[in-house]
């Protein structure tokens, strides 16, 4: 379905709740090839902050603290390095259902904690413009294109 959408749909593309298979190897996530194709179409993927999607080996019994926000930054950085740009990644937090606060990175408890990503990206050397794009600019750009 992904390849059909990329090849035949001419509109704006967002993979709103997707992580790289590199971190969680299931067909629910995007392969490196898929991520590159998404970027070639100027698409954006939204990183899900569910611990199991950030690390395919995580289990509920491991507890919340087993995954740090640094893993979120690893996932974002992986996408940026793979595509050569910060223009194709955003946040697909998915805090509205499916898993609880016990299943998100240790430092995060509410949607307000998404701002912690900003400082972590800056610490990794991301520019203000790149941080802006990742935190909301990329998704906003795609939503505006779709409207």
**pLDDT, tens digit (0-9, with 9 covering 90-100), for 56-74:** 999 999 999 999 999 999 9
Nearest alpha-carbon partner for 135 in 56, 54, 42, 49: 49
**pTM (2 d.p.):** 0.95
pLDDT the model gives residue 126: 98
* Higher pLDDT, residue 88 or 100: 88
pLDDT the model gives residue 67: 97
Instruction: Calculate the average pLDDT of the chain.
Output: 94
Percentage with pLDDT > 70 across the chain: 99
pLDDT at 97 > cutoff 80: no
CA distances from 55 to 87, 88, 101 (A): 23, 21, 16
Compute the residue count for the chain.
147
Residue 35 contacts residue 22 (beta carbons within 8 Å): no
- What is the rounded distance in angstroms from the CA atom of residue 113 to the CA atom of residue 135? 12
pLDDT the model gives residue 59: 96
- What is the rounded distance in angstroms from the CA atom of residue 85 to the CA atom of residue 88? 7
- What is the rounded distance in angstroms from the CA atom of residue 76 to the CA atom of residue 92? 11
Least confident of 17-21, 49-53, 92-96, 110-114: 92-96
> 20 forms bridges with which residues in the sheet?
30
């Amino acid at each position: 379905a992904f390849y059909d959408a990329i090849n035949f749909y001419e509109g704006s593309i967002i993979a709103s709740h997707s992580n790289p298979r590199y971190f969680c190897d299931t067909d629910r996530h995007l392969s490196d090839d898929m991520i590159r194709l998404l970027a070639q179409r100027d698409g954006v993927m939204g990183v899900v902050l569910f611990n199991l999607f950030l690390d395919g080996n995580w289990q509920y019994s491991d507890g919340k603290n087993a995954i740090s926000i640094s893993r979120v930054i690893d996932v974002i950085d992986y996408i940026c390095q793979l595509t050569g740009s910060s223009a194709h990644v955003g946040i697909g937090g998915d805090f509205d259902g499916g898993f609880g606060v016990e299943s998100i990175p240790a430092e995060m408890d509410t949607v307000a904690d998404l701002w912690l990503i900003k400082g972590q990206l800056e610490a990794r050397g991301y520019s203000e413009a790149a941080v802006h794009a990742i935190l909301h600019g990329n998704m906003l750009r795609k939503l505006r294109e779709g409207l």
